[in-house]
Amino acid sequence: MNMKKISLLLLTISSTLLISCKKGNGDFDASGTFEANEVIVAAETAGKILDFAADEGTKLEKNQVAVVIDPTNLQLQSEQVEASINALGEKTSDLTPYIRTLEQQIEIQKTQVNSLERERTRFANLLKEDAATGKQLDDIETQLKVAKEQLGLSQRQLDQQKAAISTQNRSVLSEQTPLSKKKAQIDDQLSRTKVMNPVAGTVLTSYAEAGEITAPGKALYKIADLSIMDLRAYISGDQFSQVKIGQTVKVFIDNGKDDYKEMQGTVTWISDKAEFTPKTIQTKDERAHLVYATKIRVKNDGSVKVGMYGEVKF
């Protein structure tokens, strides 16, 4: 091998070593992959999907209507129960006119009793003065007794009618409470035919389309807020005491073949249990070491993707 070839070979080896040192884990304190807080949104009622606004890549706001499920069946059920509630009023007995007639009759009878009592008193006084006969007083007392009996009969009849009507109507109206609760339950299900997006973010995966039939618990789409990303990195036992929640660290991601992009991150979580190093990010020998998982939150400017590798310097 001539000197020219040897020089070229040494130059190639030196360049390779330089790049390896620049991109190797030896320059960093920890490494890991980026993840987002993903939420899987599922249907809460059954029916045909009429509108589906959660296509992959779509950005949705919090509480935005993302999916509309056909509400026709539930609307009909709600209307049916409401009609049953309204019909209860027609089943109740309205005897107000009859009761009013009895009350008027009782008032007349009371007037008659009062008048006869005054007549009895007058004839009793006349009898003392020999201005009236005993028969006249007896006739008045007989009339008074009959009038009082009629008044008592009318009063009992009125009380009985009121009690009977109250019992009958109470039995009918007792159906109103369970019917009202049933309607509230149906209306609650009806409100769930509009699937409200729970968090602002970007749709990662769509599991359904307009026109499909869905069911309660069936996944519709997966969404995550990609403006904030978490780097799940792993630190050794020696580093455990040096890293604290709330600590600001430097995060690096690939920025081309031989360069890194530096970002600022904040430690938000540190596991209190050691685990073996994940196979995906360490060599076979290093996988036998125990490490602690951490989460480092990074504000994403669009350059960080889910599953991307990241490096950390504490």
Asked if residue 220 lies in contact with residue 41, where contact means CB atoms within 8 angstroms, the answer is: yes
Of the listed ranges 83-92, 230-239, 255-264, the least confidently predicted one is: 83-92
> Could you tell me which of 64, 73, 103 has the C-alpha nearest to residue 201?
64
pLDDT at position 2:
47
Average pLDDT score over the chain: 83
Confidence at 284, pLDDT banded by 50, 70, 90: very low
Could you tell me what percent of the chain has a pLDDT over 70?
Answer: 82
Confidence at 171, pLDDT banded by 50, 70, 90: low
What value does the mean pLDDT take over residues 210-239? 94
Residue 225 token pair: 């807020």
Residue 277: DSSP 8-state: P
Of the listed ranges 181-185, 198-202, 225-229, 284-288, the least confidently predicted one is: 284-288
Please determine, for residue 57, whether its predicted confidence score (pLDDT) is greater than 50.
Answer: yes
- pTM value? 0.61
What value does the mean pLDDT take over residues 216-220? 96
CA distance 98 to 241: 89
> Could you tell me which of 206, 204, 225, 203 has the C-alpha nearest to residue 214?
206
Confidence at 129, pLDDT banded by 50, 70, 90: confident
pLDDT at position 310:
93
* Residue indicated by tokens 């994403």: 300
CA distance 67 to 53: 6
Asked if residue 255 lies in contact with residue 276, where contact means CB atoms within 8 angstroms, the answer is: no
Could you tell me which CATH number the domain at 26-37+226-313 has?
2.40.30.170
Could you tell me which CATH number the domain at 41-70+192-224 has?
2.40.50.100
Q: Where are the domains of the chain?
A: 26-37+226-313, 41-70+192-224, 80-184
Hey, what amino acid is at 160? Q
Is the fold of 26-37+226-313 the same as that of 41-70+192-224? no
pLDDT tens by residue, 155-169: 888 787 777 776 666
pLDDT at position 158:
79
Of the listed ranges 136-145, 210-219, 273-282, the least confidently predicted one is: 273-282
CA 85, chain centre distance (Å) = 26
CA distance 83 to 189: 18
